[in-house]
Structure 1
Amino acid sequence: MKKVALGPAVPSPLGLQRRAMLASGLLAIALVAATALAYFVQCQLTAAARHTVAVDMPEAAMANRIALLAARCLMRQSEFQRAGASPEAREETVQSWLGDCRDLQRLLREGSVDDAHAGHRDRFARWLAVSQQHERGILSLAAESGRSGAPESLRSAVSDRCSGIDTVLSEAEQLAAEEAASCKAGGRRLEEIVDSQLHMVTLRSVIALLVLATATFWLSRSVFRRIAVLSAAVCRFTAGNHGTRIAGHSHDELGVLARQFNEMASTIQMNQEQLERARDAARAENRAKSEFLAALSEEISEPMKMVGDYAETMLGDLNDPDNRQATVTIRQSAEYLLEVVQSVLDLSEIELGQLRIAPEPCSLCQIVAEVCSVMRRRAEGKGLSLNVVYSGPVPESVHTDPVRLRQILVHMLGDAIRSLEIGSIRLAVRLVQHEHDPKLQFDVTDLGTVGSLEKPGSGVAGTAVPFFTKKDGTAGLGLTVGRRLTHLLGGTVEVGQNAGLRGTVTITVPVGPLGGVRMMEQPVESVVRREQEIVSGAPKVKLNCRILLAEDGPENQRLISFILKRAGAEVTVVDNGQEAIRSALPPQSGQAAGDPWEPYDVVLMDIDMPVMDGCEATQRLRRAGYTGLVIAVTGHARRYDRDKCLGVGFDDYVTKPIDRQTLLELLARHAVRLPGPAEATVAGAH
């Protein structure tokens, strides 16, 4: 059992909730400290900026403006002195001079009353008095200039009456220089403040980061790492490793969760083991049941086939109608039981996983014709009709397992024939074109009346049921086996019922790529010809050959000998493989002389015999140089047994229960290729 370490146990551990609260508190303190520090830095920077901009910068600007206006007044004074004798030029200069002087006075008055320049009010008042005196001098000069005074006298008057403004200019320039120096000093102070505050912020940030790193490391060691280990254990458990456990004995919430996980995992693992044991037991029981049913069905099939064959043989010698009808009933009942037995065999092979699919190219129309020729005889025995309809063109050849496709159609048509009392059955065949995946669709439709349910003694008919279900509403055996076989071929089976058509079973099977396959537009004609060949070719087969039959069962000996002898063959019967070898090979020199030895044209060799089985006997015959025809007679009709038979030296095989027509046709087909006097004829064949 794999355990995952959750971490060392803590003697007196804090609870997970308390750890989370403590970590949250540390984080909150760090955030509050960082916020307060940032606010303090912001206040310091703002105060420094206000001091620089709101105090130093306005005073420097005021001093510069005063110096500018004082300089303009001096410039007007120089222009007045250069005006000469023109009264108009002097008048214009005086007006500009007065405007500049009055602007200077207005600016000085504003500076005197503004609180931002409280430190320079006295200086501004003195400058205002000088500018007012300067204005009076300008006005007196203007009066004298209007009386057309001499230019020389006006120039001397300007120097006497308009002095002092140059003092204002020099003092204003000095003040502007002082305020500019003060601004530079404020900038340097601001830089010093910012540098000191930045150092403080850096130090406190480092401290906060250290606190956060410590808290994170503590949480990762005590909580996050253990949560990751727990998550990894859950992932491994859900992936199928039910032996995963979490080690650790801590008493906090994660420890409790780990113990609960271990308990849950143990319970699930125990339940899983119980389920696996129950599943294995159920599979073993199901396999034993399937093997028992298969063995039982094989044991039943041979005597039932004998009953049917002997009943059919008796029909040729009976003339009384009642006896013939009774014999026909015996034969039909035997055929029905054989069909049920074959269904059970197929179902058992499917459940055991022994049914193999071997797709190969085969003729669709031939398969349909062969199935319908066999099933039509059963349908006509009940007064029913079986019709085949091709909807549209169909491929001449398809790639599928022909044996399984025949079984599917036989099972579905068999259910319909058994259930239907009056009417007809229709088998519709069509090609369903899908992109890169063509499929064949078979619709088995009941067009008649199915026996209804009646309550005994009531005389009241119940609800009729479709042919693909039994009277109790469960699926019929043919539908069950047919659906399983269809799924093995990669197809689907759907059932439906409506008011017009009593019931329809739709079988869809893939047929492989159809590139280069010829499409048949009117396949009905070929089907009719094939069925005529099959029906009229059921004519009697005449054999003219010597056959050695190796069979240990007395019933099979009598039945097979009876069939072969009635077909004209000369039959010798032996009980085991050792006697078959002695009879098939020519006598060795030195052996006792008896009846003259004649070679056999065909050896029918049963597989399961005492003393020596058929496979070993055939291998010894081949090693002894025997080249004659040896045909296996086996009750194992599965494909892997067939391959095994052909691999040990048999030329062909025939399965039990023996079908008379199949056996005779097989022998007739091989007799054509035999050298010597052996021959076979088919009476009435076309």
Structure 2
Amino acid sequence: MRRQRPKPISGRRSRMGTAQAGRALTPSETAATFQAQNRRALGMFVVILVGLVAAVFAYRLGEDAQTSRIQASFERIAGERIAAVEAGLLTTIGSLRPLASFLNAAREPGPEEFQRFVAPLLASSPGIQAFEWVPVVENAERARFEAEAAREFPGFRIRDQNGQGMAVAAERARYYPVTTVEPLRGNEKIVGFDVASDPVRRAAIEAAVATRAPQASGRITLIQHAGDHNGFFVAYPVFDGSDRLRGLVLGVFCVEEAVNRLGSGADLSLSISDLAADPREAQMYPATPRGVSRPPAAVASSRVLSIGGRPWLVEAVATPDFLARETGRLPEVLLVAWLFLAGNIAWLVDRRYAVKAEVIARTADMRQARDEARRANRAKSDFLAAMSHEIRTPLIGVVALADHLLDQNLSPEHRQSLAIIARSGEHLHRMINDILDFSKLEAKQLTLEIRPFNPSTAARNVAALMERQAADKGLSLDVRIADDLPERVAGDPARLRQILLNLISNALKFTDSGGVHIEVSAESPQADGRRPLVFTVRDSGPGMSEATRAKLFTEFWQADSSIARRFGGTGLGLAISRRLAKRMDGDIFVVSAPGEGSAFTLRAPFAEIPAENAAQELGEERSAAPPILSNDLPAPIRLVIPPPAPDADQHDFSGRSILLAEDNPTNRAIAQTILARTGARVVEASDGAEALAKASCERFDLILMDVHMPNMTGLEAARAIRALPAPFGDTPIVALTASAFQEDRNLCAAAGMDDFLAKPYRGGPLRDVAARAMAAEPASASARGSTPVCGEPAAQVGAPAFAYDSFALLGAEVGPEDARDLLRDFMTDASARLEIIEAELRKGELGVSGREAHALKSSAATMGLARLAAIARELEAAARREDGASAETLGQAARAAFDEARPHVDEILSAA
């Protein structure tokens, strides 16, 4: 049986068919489709209309451009022709001067001498008709003059020109007869003609005599020409030695011949007008005016010349031959090009609307796919959080109980076994952190927390954490800080510590002898104002080959298979560190060679900030316990037996009541065991609802709240407790959770929690965070008063003005010198904040006072000003419940507590 081949389906029809076959369009989508079609028709109409208008405009633009080009070309040609006419006429006029000098010197030259002299001038003077000598003849000398002239020209008489031709001149005082003319042939009729008998000629003669310079006449009719020929002459006066006028030298021109010889051409036609003459007599060339005037839009050029003292307007008009030769196809080309462009634009617009119509048809399917992707991403995030909680929760029992048992008096064998358990738990925790951090980075959900910190202190603190590991291997570990390193920068100190811990831990693991050196320096500021900091970790280990360095930052990769067997690990530490560095706009570089050790360099830019703006925030950041950070390869488990714990704990919570909200019985038992040694009374709650009920009936000194609990989560319980009336709603709340991401910290803070402790935790960090939250006293201080219950008034806080042990803890963490610097900065900052609080309370503004008290409470507790911290906490609560009277009283108490602590602070600062 013959199989029939299926018909191909175009991409668009296939997609549209899928969208339409899946479901029918909703009313809103149908309306959107209809609107899109209307917009499509309107858009096409607008595009076509605009295209036609633009095409006409383009055509006109091309015409204007072409006309400008033709005009410029014609201006050049016409300028050359007019300049040639001017140069030729001026050259001929200039030849009258030497002829006048000759006649003045020769006195009475004969025809032969005159002919020999002017022959070269005639040959080199274009447009000239004749050179003439015109003597001045007084009336008394007329008879003698005519008799002498008759010898040369028989029958010579001085004549005038009248309507019937030439006639004997009438009697007058003075005559200007032509006696010598060259060439004579063709000019015989001019001999004896009294030039001054014609008004036009007489005006030119009088002007020449008056100015003693060449003077052109107006338009005259040449006598020696038959027909209507326009001409003009230029008169040059000749004076004898006694300054008496002897006569004039005339140069007679035929305008038509001069123009034809000097300015003729097929590209243009010339016309010449005498601007000094009467308009009716101004036309010099052509001899008769044209029948049709020049069109206004004709291509033309004009110029005013000075010829023999008279202004001539010379106009040149392009001929049809010139226009035909110069005219191109630019307008038509622009028109066609723009129509082509408009057609393409119309096609693109049509395609845009067509695509938009297709998008509308597929929007529903895309929305559905997007919602499914969001649900899948949410499920992944929820799974990640659940796995973080479920995996970390058993570690609390392993690590915390092992740490607690190590504080007991144990036999060496038992202590050695517990050390192995503790190290194994830490190793597992680091691998979990690596995997979770890598998942966050892959999903681009890891965010940086920007806050002020001291880069020098951060580097020293990381080195201090690794000192024991270096000492166990007999390695040196030192930190070198450049002198120009900024004291305060803005960045994420926790992520910086994570990177440095990875680099230093790797260097110590792979180095068997020598040591590790940490160098911290700063480069010049970048264009954006940030200053790059450079952290270099050098070791004296075995080094690496080029092939190893090329794969060093690859996920789940280790230099050789023996590394995993010797040290374990996931192979993610360096990959995570480099990704974190890139999130900081930086990078990590490595320089190494076999047998020469390795140098890992972190370079990242940070914003440099003034120290006074960051003192308070820096104190909070330093006082917080650093999170357990991931390393590239976890440290090997060595059978190192830690020394026995001291007999007494440094925290005494005697008389304090703590509510522990934890759904896991093992975790409750661990926390109960850790806190039991402090003397505190611990009340347990198995979920958030039970914690809320107990917090509503008893005012606890502290609530330790697990975040993930059944019935009511820790976040919901914290928000409900904060909504309780005072004093129950003011109880400090510390979050306990295995979800240690920054987003989880932000959620806890938004719910009203005061601090955060990541699981699994040790006894020391748990007791420290409890002391910090309660502004606890050291063991030597007196215990607090009784804890109130439902219906009883709140007890007054009895904290000391200055807790030396709390300040000592800070000194042990950051160093005595840095601790004193922080205390000095804090006193300045706290004094300013108290002034703000007092000023705002006087105005009745509780919001600002509450925020300032919130910023003051934790930093005051860290610095040892326990009473000020407790009062600030109460002041914040009073501002939150808008209790103005209590807030004003607490504001005065805060100033008194600050003043009472000042002598103790001065004592510490003066002892430096």
Normalization by structure 1: what TM-score?
Answer: 0.58
Residue 485 (structure 1) aligned with residue 596 (structure 2): no
What is the SS of the residue equivalent to 1:167? coil
The answer as to whether partners of 1:387 and 1:425 remain within 8 angstroms in 2 is yes
Q: Conserved in 1, the CA contact under 8 Å of 2:545 and 2:592? A: no
Equivalents in 1 of 2:389, 2:399: separation in Å? 16
- Structure 2: which 5+ runs fail to align? 1-35, 50-58, 121-129, 131-145, 159-177, 180-188, 194-220, 232-253, 256-282, 300-316, 562-569, 615-621, 627-641, 778-782, 788-798, 813-912
Q: Partner residue of 1:100? A: 110
Q: Compare the two structures and name the one with the higher helix fraction.
A: 1
1:35-74 matched pairs, under 5 angstroms: none
Give the corresponding residue for 1:672: 776
CA contact (8 A) 1:397 1:517 kept: no
In 1, distance between residues paired with 2:148 and 2:603? 131
How far does residue 663 in structure 1 lie from its aligned partner after superposition? 0.8
For 2:542 and 2:469, how far apart are their aligned partners in 1? Answer: 17
Three-state SS of the structure 1 residue aligned to 2:740 is coil
Residue in 1 that maps onto 2:190: 175
Contact kept in structure 2, 1:551 and 1:606, CA below 8 Å: yes
Distance 1:277 1:232, change over 3 A: farther
Tell me whether 376-385 or 503-512 shows the greater mean CA deviation: 376-385
Counterpart in the other structure of 1:368? 459
- Which amino acid counterpart does residue 319 of structure 1 have in structure 2? S
Change in 2 beyond 3 A, CA 1:319/1:502 = same
Hey, what does 1:503 align to over in structure 2? 599
Shift, 1:553, TM fit: 1.0
1:605 aligns with 2:701: no
How far off its partner does 1:390 sit? 1.7
Measured against aligned partners, the alpha-carbon deviations of 1:223-261 in whole angstroms (never above 9, x if no partner) come to: 522324426876x8xxxxx95279xxxxxxxxxxxxxxx
Partner of 1:412: 503
Contact 1:422 1:449 in 2 (8 A): no
Change (3 A) 1:244 1:337: same
- Using the TM superposition, give the Cα deviation of residue 575 of structure 1 relative to its aligned residue in structure 2, in angstroms: 0.9
Q: Name which one, 1 or 2, has greater alpha-carbon Rg.
A: 1
CA distance in 1 between counterparts of 2:461 and 2:472 reads 18
2:684 to 573, 582, 599: 573
Q: Cα distance, 1:191 vs. partner?
A: 0.5
CA distance change for structure 1 residues 170 and 302 in 2, over 3 Å: closer, same or farther?
farther
**Counterpart in 2 of 1:226?**
340
Q: Separation in 2 of the partners of 1:619 and 1:161?
A: 143
Task: Work out whether 1:654 is the aligned partner of 2:750.
Answer: no
Matched, 1:446 2:536: no
Where do residues 72-151 of structure 1 align in structure 2 (5 Å cutoff)? 100=110, 103=113
Indicate which of 732, 748, 769 corresponds to 1:645: 748
Kept in 2: contact 1:542–1:681 (CA 8 A):
no
Aligned pair in 2 of structure 1 residues 446, 104: CA closer, same or farther (>3 Å)? closer
Aligned-pair RMSD on alpha carbons?
6.3
Q: How do 1:119-518 and structure 2 match up within 5 A?
A: 164-165=151-152, 167=154, 170=157, 173=179, 174-176=189-191, 180-182=223-225, 184=230, 187=255, 190-192=285-287, 195=290, 223-230=337-344, 244=352, 292-315=383-406, 316=408, 318-321=410-413, 324-380=415-471, 384-420=475-511, 423-434=514-525, 436-449=529-542, 470-472=557-559, 476-498=571-593, 500-514=596-610
Query: Residue 359 of structure 1 contacts residue 399 of structure 1 at CA under 8 Å; is this kept in 2?
Result: yes
Task: Check the 8 A contact 1:430/1:441 in 2, yes or no.
Answer: yes
Are 1:411 and 1:481, in contact at CA under 8 Å, matched by a contact in 2?
Answer: no
State the partner residue of 1:150. Answer: none
For residues 286 and 227 of structure 1, the distance between their equivalents in structure 2, rounded to whole angstroms, comes to 47
Q: Give the Cα–Cα distance (whole angstroms) in 2 for the partners of residues 449 and 551 of structure 1.
A: 48
Mapped to 2, the partners of 1:345 and 1:452 lie a distance apart of 30
Question: 2 CA distance for matches of 1:422 and 1:565?
Answer: 44
Q: Which secondary structure state, in structure 1, belongs to the residue aligned with residue 734 of structure 2?
A: strand
Distance of 1:632 and 1:199 partners within structure 2: 99
Change (3 A) 1:180 1:396: same
Query: 5+ unaligned residues in a row in structure 1: which ranges?
Result: 9-22, 74-95, 111-119, 121-158, 237-241, 247-261, 454-461, 519-526, 588-598
User: Following TM superposition, by how much is the alpha carbon of 1:560 offset from its aligned partner in structure 2, in angstroms?
Assistant: 1.8
2: CA distance, partners of 1:404 / 1:504: 17
**Structure 1 pair 575–213 and aligned structure 2 pair: CA distance change class (3 A):** farther
**What is the deviation of 1:318?**
4.9
| Counterpart residue type for residue 602 of structure 2 | T
Which amino acid is 1:501 matched to?
Answer: G
Residues 408 and 482 of structure 1 are in contact (CA less than 8 Å); yes or no, is this contact kept in structure 2?
Answer: yes
Alignment partners' CA distance in 2, 1:664 and 1:297: 24
SS of 1:394's equivalent?
coil
- Aligned to 2:733, the other structure's residue is in SS state strand
Q: Which residue does 2:670 correspond to in 1? A: 559
Q: Deviations over 1:109-144 (max 9, x none)?
A: 99xxxxxxxxx9xxxxxxxxxxxxxxxxxxxxxxxx
CA contact (8 A) 1:467 1:503 kept: no
What amino acid sits opposite 2:558 in the alignment?
K
Query: 1 or 2 for the larger relative contact order (CA 8 Å, sep ≥6)?
Result: 1
Contact 1:450/1:466 (<8 A) preserved:
no
Deviations 1:558-603 (A, max 9, x none): 222232234554433321233334444548xxxxxxxxxxx75433
CA contact (8 A) 1:548 1:602 kept: yes
Does the residue aligned with 2:435 lie in a helix, a strand or coil? helix
Render the CA deviation track for 1:187-234: whole Å, top value 9, x for unaligned. 489514784698698899789989999977766665522324426876
8 Å CA contact retained: 1:631, 1:651: yes
Determine helix, strand or coil for the equivalent of 1:399. strand
Cα pair distance change 1:502/1:218, threshold 3 Å: closer
Aligned length in residues: 526
Which of 736, 746, 769 lines up with 1:633 in the alignment? 736
Q: Any idea what SS the aligned residue of 2:520 has?
A: strand
Q: Is residue 456–residue 520 contact of structure 2 (8 Å, CA) maintained in 1?
A: no
CA contact (8 A) 1:290 1:349 kept: no
- Which residue identity does 1:230 align to in structure 2? N
Residue in structure 2 matched with residue 596 of structure 1 by the alignment:
none
* TM superposition shift of 1:501: 3.5
User: Could you say if the C-alpha distance between residues 676 and 169 of structure 1 is closer, same or farther in structure 2, counting changes exceeding 3 Å?
Assistant: farther
User: What is the CA-CA distance between 1:275 and the residue it aligns to?
Assistant: 12
For residue 551 of structure 1, report the CA deviation from its aligned partner. Answer: 0.6
Structure 2 counterpart SS, 1:442 = strand
Distance in 2, Cα, partners of 1:515 & 1:681: 25
> Structure 1 residues 463-472 or 599-608, which shifts more?
463-472
SS for the counterpart of 1:370 is helix
Alignment-derived partner of residue 550 in structure 1 = 661
